[in-house]
A and B are shown apart, each in its own frame.
Chain A
């Protein structure tokens, strides 16, 4: 039988394991901030990565277009049916907006939780070993991206920024299993119902909204938005639609399953959302640069 390890190799292996365990525990401790070498590696590798990702997006974009052309007839028929309804809502929306603006001027309130500036970004890679749902985008600190900002696509909220380097940033998607990932959400209606998006059911493919006051009645099919009360996200980013309502483990509050509005696979163009009104640390996370004492979320 051949010997598996010689003595020298065994020692080398053991030393290697010790060094690696030390490294792993060191880097697990603080994953929100990248050290300088990490930042350099991220930016340099990210630059190379974007050279490969851009043509790939071009190819998938072209395939999507072909697919779109093939579906044109069906879609057109469907859209025609919706068109009349759309025109009516559009008119109403314009009316309501103008009204809202007038009323705001009367009460002299300029800030709105809803206002935000979008920063356009392209997804350059997804974490290939998909234990964590993370993507990397080609905008960083230089372009104004900051920690914990919301990231959306045209169809809705997809996640938040968890790591920023000068030219790239890492985004954690809503479909993460990370327990610390919370979004302050609201179900708008005659009376707003507040809750927290907390957790993802991977077998159902749905988000879980917890801590809903049991006095309120939540119906299936209601839309869920970000509430803007978490401190960093603006108000009114669409998250999804309620599919099932039940009570939580202790029966004290309600819990709703939410089908996300955005798709989490095949992401290409996303927007990082920079809230216009003041940001504070809260359930959405800590504001970059703010000290620990400012934290009031639990």
Chain B
């Protein structure tokens, strides 16, 4: 049973993202800030760090494909970005100590990278016309803020859970 808990949480986070994005954009003093929930990629980075790169990339491809088909209607954007980000994270994690704080910071850095890449893609196919500075202030910074709250709240929980599953697997 416990084997299924890791993909189950990934699916739950996948479904929670669009629910949280209903709250966005938030306007403060007539300026609307866009908050983008990036729960899935954060979780995938944790899987990369504590469970295995291959598994993370596999989940990345599947969830990315679903994300593209359900939300974006352009197949191939997140199907590509999710696994690539996981691959980069795996390259970096090899060089550093797997402490919970470093993994948290790494996952936030990867959220920023994902946002940046998706911004370049959106500008490329003219989905958006906002400039780079606007993107940083109105989108990237609020997004990072919101996601760091998420990472702070659930990061430790993810680590504990994934460790537990890893131990069980080793025991069998």
**Residues on A facing B (Cβ under 8 Å):** 4, 16-17, 19-21, 23-24, 26-28, 31, 34, 37-38, 41-42, 45-46, 48-49, 51-53, 56, 123-132, 134, 136, 163, 170, 177, 202, 205, 265-268
Report Cα–Cα, A127/B32, bound state, in Å.
17
Q: Residues of A contacting B12 with CB < 8 Å?
A: 52
B74 touches A128 (CB 8 A): no
Residue on B nearest A4 in the bound complex, by CB:
B91
Q: Residues of B contacting A266 with CB < 8 Å?
A: 22-23
Q: Residues of A contacting B36 with CB < 8 Å?
A: 128-130
A48 touches B18 (CB 8 A): no
Which residues between 77 and 96 of chain B lie within 8 Å of chain A, taking CB atoms? 77-80, 91
Report Cα–Cα, A177/B12, bound state, in Å.
31
Which residues between 1 and 44 of chain B lie within 8 Å of chain A, taking CB atoms? 11-12, 15-27, 30, 32, 34, 36-37
B118 touches A131 (CB 8 A): yes
| CB-contact partner of B127 in A16, A37, A177, A268, under 8 A | A177
Confirm or deny: B76 has a beta carbon within 8 angstroms of a beta carbon on chain A: yes
Residue on A nearest B70 in the bound complex, by CB:
A45
Interface size class of B (residues with CB under 8 A): 35 or more
Confirm or deny: B122 has a beta carbon within 8 angstroms of a beta carbon on chain A: yes
Confirm or deny: B130 has a beta carbon within 8 angstroms of a beta carbon on chain A: yes
Confirm or deny: B149 has a beta carbon within 8 angstroms of a beta carbon on chain A: no
**Residues on B facing A (Cβ under 8 Å):** 11-12, 15-27, 30, 32, 34, 36-37, 66-67, 69-80, 91, 118, 122, 125, 127-130
Report Cα–Cα, A285/B26, bound state, in Å.
31
Q: Give the one of A34, A205, A265 with max B CB within 10 A.
A: A265
Residue on B nearest A178 in the bound complex, by CB:
B127
A31 touches B76 (CB 8 A): no
Residue on A nearest B130 in the bound complex, by CB:
A202
Report Cα–Cα, A123/B122, bound state, in Å.
24
Q: Give the one of B24, B66, B71, B77 with max A CB within 10 A.
A: B71
Residues A128 and B17 in contact in the complex (CB < 8 Å), given A28-B74, A123-B22? yes
B76 touches A267 (CB 8 A): no
Residues A129 and B71 in contact in the complex (CB < 8 Å), given A177-B127, A205-B27? yes
B73 touches A27 (CB 8 A): yes
| CB-contact partner of A24 in B18, B24, B76, under 8 A | B76
Report Cα–Cα, A266/B32, bound state, in Å.
13
Report Cα–Cα, A233/B24, bound state, in Å.
27
Q: Residues of A contacting B34 with CB < 8 Å?
A: 130
For the complex with contacts A128-B71, A131-B128, A136-B70, 10 further pairs of A-B residues with Cβ separation under 8 Å are A24-B75, A28-B74, A41-B66, A45-B69, A52-B12, A52-B15, A53-B22, A128-B20, A128-B36, A265-B22
Q: Residues of A contacting B23 with CB < 8 Å?
A: 265-266
A45 touches B66 (CB 8 A): yes
| CB-contact partner of B128 in A19, A49, A177, under 8 A | A177
Q: Residues of B contacting A23 with CB < 8 Å?
A: 75-76, 79
B66 touches A205 (CB 8 A): no
Report Cα–Cα, A202/B20, bound state, in Å.
21
Q: Give the one of B30, B36, B69, B70 with max A CB within 10 A.
A: B70
B73 touches A31 (CB 8 A): yes
A126 touches B22 (CB 8 A): yes
| CB-contact partner of A31 in B71, B74, B78, B128, under 8 A | B74
Q: Residues of B contacting A4 with CB < 8 Å?
A: 91
How far in angstroms is the closest Cβ of chain A from B51?
A: 21
Report Cα–Cα, A177/B128, bound state, in Å.
7
Q: Residues of B contacting A27 with CB < 8 Å?
A: 73-76
A128 touches B21 (CB 8 A): yes
| CB-contact partner of A48 in B15, B32, B67, under 8 A | B15
Residue on A nearest B65 in the bound complex, by CB:
A41
How far in angstroms is the closest Cβ of chain A from B98?
A: 17
B19 touches A52 (CB 8 A): yes
Q: Residues of B contacting A51 with CB < 8 Å?
A: 15
Residue on A nearest B79 in the bound complex, by CB:
A20
Query: Which 3 A-B pairs give the minimum distances between C-beta atoms?
Result: A125-B18, A23-B76, A20-B76
Q: Residues of B contacting A136 with CB < 8 Å?
A: 18, 70-71
Residues A130 and B24 in contact in the complex (CB < 8 Å), given A28-B74, A177-B128? yes
| CB-contact partner of A127 in B11, B16, B71, under 8 A | B71
B80 touches A127 (CB 8 A): no
